[in-house]
Chain A
Amino acid sequence: MAGETAAVSMTVNGKPITANVDARTLLVQLLREHLRLTGTHVGCDTSQCGACVVHVNGKAIKSCTVLALQLEGANVLTIEGLAAPDGPLHPMQEAFRENHGLQCGFCTPGMIMTAVDLVRRKGNDLDDRTIREELEGNICRCTGYHNIVKAIAAGARTMRGGSTMSKAAE
């Protein structure tokens, strides 16, 4: 119910944080409203669009489907933490830019976080069919997915061997 608050502590993008939140606060609300990490977006209310995907303890999750209070002690990575602010971009970010894998940019953070997790799970050689099936939980209204699929395949190749080089392959 409203009004009942509790403290929760976790690590977000490498920094320890503690927040007092209403019990019904979702992770995405904690990130956006308490921590002002507005790169994680909300595009729906039924856990369908994937604009809110972040990594929790190394795995991609939709941050609109988990309560902040469930994540005591967790390690959360958002789009803002994917690459150091002044350093080179993450290869997957660079691949999206290089391959025009974004237009309005609203679904992009969720797409990129999903893509990085996809590489972790399925490796660096991703075929078109695999990528398309794995994007089941991410909706883009702008790109028709063509260039997102290209970007993910290219980003995955560049990520081989944990490389953080900023230039996308090919």
Chain B
Amino acid sequence: MSATGIGAAVRRKEDRRFITGTGHYTDDINRPGQAYANFLRSPHAHATIKSIDATAAAKMPGVLAVLAGADLAADKIGNLICGWMIHSKDGSPMKMAPHPALALGKVCHVGDPIAVVVAETLAQARDAAEKIAVDYAVLPAVADPAAAQKSGAPQIHDIAPNNTIYQWHLGDASAVEAAFRTAKHVTRLDIVNNRLVPNAIEPRAAIGDYDAGTGTFTLWNTTQNPHVARLVIAAFVGMAPEHKLRVIAPDVGGGFGSKIFIYPEEVVALWASKRVGRPVKWVAERSEAFVADAHGRDHVTHAEMAFDAEGKILGLRAKTIANLGAYMSTFSSSVPTYLYATLLSGQYEIPQIYCEVDAVYTNTVPVDAYRGAGRPEATFVVERLVEVSARELGQDPAELRRKNFIRIFPHQTPVIMAYDAGDYNASLKKAMELADYKGFGRRKRESARNGKLRGIGLSTYIEACGIAPSQAVGSLGAGVGLWESAEVRVNPTGSVEILTGSHAHGQGHETTFAQLVSDRLGIPIDNISVVHGDTDKVQFGMGTYGSRSGAVGMSALAKALDKIEAKAKKVAAHMLEAAEGDIEFKDGKFNVAGTDKSAAWGDVALNAYIAHKFSGQELEPGLKEGAFYDPINFTFPAGCHICEVEVDPETGNTEIAAWTAVDDFGVIVNPMIVEGQVHGGIAQGVGQALCEGAIYDKDGQLVTGSFMDYCMPRADHLPALTVDTTVTKCPSNPLGVKGCGEAGAIAAPAAVINAITDAIGTEALAMPAAPQTVWAALQIADRMPKAA
């Protein structure tokens, strides 16, 4: 392993600008003549708009325009769309309601944008927005997904009777029925997967800049996938032809899924720029982000797991209601279906699985992918069922898991996925050793002496990453292919630029992608630049989410590097007057096999461009290659997280005493970055389990609408984390990598809740398990007659 190659803990190339305050996030960019946008948003969860009077606002100082939904419609700006078609079990297509970028006649959630003011300064835009008079007829609202389908519930969109978007299912219902009939034991759970607000620390932002001379638009935007944004804004919203729209995603301060989607504000910034003839900048305030950024999770599930007399799982069935909010966000439909039910087999051999999912509209912010996207919800269902089953069966939870682990690969689950590789016992075993699982009893007694309740919880999770084979997702309803592209440009001096369709917003691609190039070409990492996030530079790409940058994006890069090597060998053969087949490339040097004749990388690069040693007829000058890589399968990272908690029965406060994570991510490119990703994922999962939760009141008001009310995990919520790995190489891509971005967030919630319920001796515990919730659960448990 070289110092900067695959497997080395290379310090990040991108860090210098971030630690010196010289990064360029969207809000750091200013365009000459720039004006500022401020949105007027609905204070009501559900209302018809009787009138909008902008007369007073338009007369305010500095105001350039006040625009509303009718103006947008007049300019024929199209609606936002959801790009993944889901069909109900009766074959009918999902009920996608119109989603204009500015409300037209009706608002459907608090925060729904109604009008935009564009002014010389942000303060003037804000002042003017306050002067817009909107006459509402307030309608009854529904925020609770379980209540949305009930008779008498307020109807949000005409297209969707009973607020039902689709009623989807997966698996063989009758086979599961039969399996349950033979069961010796069935565990039943009602589970609420709490609604979360992603809260990347950089708020979303957009600068629209229309150039009337060329008729082109430029959008600087906090997006995880600039090409997808361009495609949707061009082809569906109809802002401009695709070649007349440039989308630039500069430094982006975290995404976690919430910056995948195409939102109203960037559409409006572009459109308003053309309207006022000036660049228009919008930056979300945090409280605005709470009601404007897609939320995550929000499932209500009943799940059952059946066992035979030996403790082998016979079947699993689940019925889930998924809250998709007021409108269908870009990929919302796929999250509670193909990203959820397909993972319900977990790490276990489960002969039969059946899952029904009803997706519903409510008067809440749209819900879409958030770190893990469907897979944390699936893992929580499976890992809570297994843990509770073990307790009900009187078996050790680790033992029950081990008994049911899949051991032979490839493994076809009953819910689409074909796991390619893994060793679940290895990660469980290592995690139990690192966590000193055997010593838990002693630690529990020690805690008891201090008046504390100690608990331990496991989560042996699986996820499907490296999203995804295009043909497969196409057959499941995706409107796009999920390959990735890469281009390698070798300069005459031998330095290299890589252009990738992946997009980094914290993941460190400028380092890891360069590591692959350094490894393959044998050149110093400082001679390699990574270019991403600009549709004028990178031809096309699908962006970064679903832990796909390594498995898909870097595989594309590997493929392009293969082509570079092949071409460079041809150049070297001419230089060394040898047959192409005799050229070997190793450690940055081209050798003629069996001789001492060689050419250095830099010389070959130069010769490719000066083209003095070969004729342009037999070999094209230059050294630049591109590749599109379409994966042959998902990848299946898996592992075991063990959480140990200490609960104070007096206050209900939970302290995480220890955390052990052993993950199998396949081949690891940069262990330092991988550990960082795991740490961050765990923190988000712990946040979900212990403190985070978006709460709507019965009128559809978001009660937790700021960092004062919505509890973000802080440094003292978490302990130091023990993070390790086991490795089974992924056979489905050339690098053997699986992906690590979401693992922590997927594994953690079940581990925490399994630990707390172990400590307090009752399974009835909702997330977030804040002190009050734990304390209340303890009071109820104390009053319950103890099981015999």
Contact = CB atoms under 8 A, between A and B. Distances in A.
B202 A104 contact: yes
A156 to B, nearest CB: 15
Given A48-B708, A133-B716, A144-B744, A2 B127 contact: yes
A79 B28 CA distance: 15
Given A43-B286, A100-B12, A38 B715 contact: no
Given A109-B21, A144-B679, A38 B684 contact: no
Contact of A105 (B61, B283, B506, B683): B506
Interface stretch (A67-75, A135-143, A157-165): A135-143
A136 B717 CA distance: 10
Given A143-B680, A144-B682, A145-B683, A97 B123 contact: no
Given A79-B21, A97-B19, A46 B716 contact: no
B105 to A, nearest CB: 30
A89 interface: yes
A107 to B, nearest CB: 5
Contact of B286 (A22, A45, A104, A138): A45
B714 A141 contact: no
Contacts of A106: 25, 200-202, 253-254
A78 B508 CA distance: 25
A109 B27 CA distance: 15
A93 interface: yes
A3 interface: yes
B679 A46 contact: no
B323 to A, nearest CB: 23
B20 A145 contact: no
Interface string B15-29: 111111111110110
B775 interface: no
Interface residues of A, number: 57
Interface string B372-410: 000000000000000000000000000000000000000
Interface string A22-37: 1010000000100001
Contact of A146 (B18, B679, B712): B679
A97 B61 contact: no
Nearest to B123: A2
Given A2-B127, A135-B716, A44 B680 contact: no
B673 A100 contact: yes
A38 B28 contact: yes
Contact of B201 (A49, A78, A129): A49
Interface in B220-263: 251-254, 256
Contacts of A63: none
B20 A89 contact: yes
B491 interface: no
A132 B19 contact: no
B256 A141 contact: yes
Given A80-B22, A143-B676, A146-B718, A45 B201 contact: no
B706 interface: yes
Contact of B124 (A2, A46, A133, A145): A2
B752 to A, nearest CB: 14
A32 B703 CA distance: 31
A141 B680 contact: yes
Contact of B676 (A98, A100, A131): A100
B635 interface: no
A79 B506 contact: no
A3 to B, nearest CB: 7
Nearest to A22: B123
B440 interface: no
B288 to A, nearest CB: 8
Nearest to A85: B20
B720 interface: yes
B743 to A, nearest CB: 12
A97 B715 contact: no
A53 B200 CA distance: 18
B169 interface: no
Interface residues of B, number: 61
B127 A45 contact: no
Contact of B720 (A24, A82, A139, A149): A149
Contacts of A78: 21
A17 B641 CA distance: 53
A46 B676 contact: no
Given A45-B285, A46-B287, A141-B256, A103 B507 contact: yes
B680 A42 contact: no
A128 B720 contact: yes
Contacts of B202: 41, 43, 104, 106
Interface in A95-119: 96-98, 100, 102-109, 112
Nearest to B288: A45
B715 A131 contact: yes
A81 to B, nearest CB: 9
B21 A39 contact: yes
B53 interface: no
Contacts of B124: 2
Nearest to B683: A144
Contacts of A80: 20-22
A95 to B, nearest CB: 9
B681 interface: yes
Contact of A103 (B676, B684, B708): B676
Nearest to B283: A42
A148 interface: yes
A141 B721 contact: no
Max chain B Cβ within 10 angstroms of own Cβ: one of A41, A103, A132: A103
A51 interface: yes
B253 A104 contact: yes
Contacts of A108: 18-19
Contacts of A9: none
Contacts of B203: 42-43
Interface in B15-46: 15-25, 27-28
Interface string B649-685: 0000000000000000000000011011111111110
A144 B675 CA distance: 10
A44 to B, nearest CB: 4
Contact of B715 (A41, A98, A100, A149): A149
A149 to B, nearest CB: 7
Contacts of A3: 61
Nearest to A51: B201
A147 interface: yes
A27 to B, nearest CB: 15
A83 interface: yes
A154 B25 CA distance: 28
Nearest to A48: B707
Given A106-B202, A147-B679, A45 B254 contact: no
7 contacts: A38-B27, A80-B20, A97-B11, A103-B677, A104-B202, A141-B201, A144-B718
Q: What 7 pairs between A and B have smallest CB-CB spacing? A: A39-B21, A105-B18, A106-B253, A104-B506, A144-B683, A144-B679, A79-B21
Given A44-B286, A49-B286, A100-B676, 10 more contacts: A42-B27, A44-B706, A49-B707, A80-B20, A97-B12, A105-B506, A128-B720, A142-B676, A143-B680, A144-B680
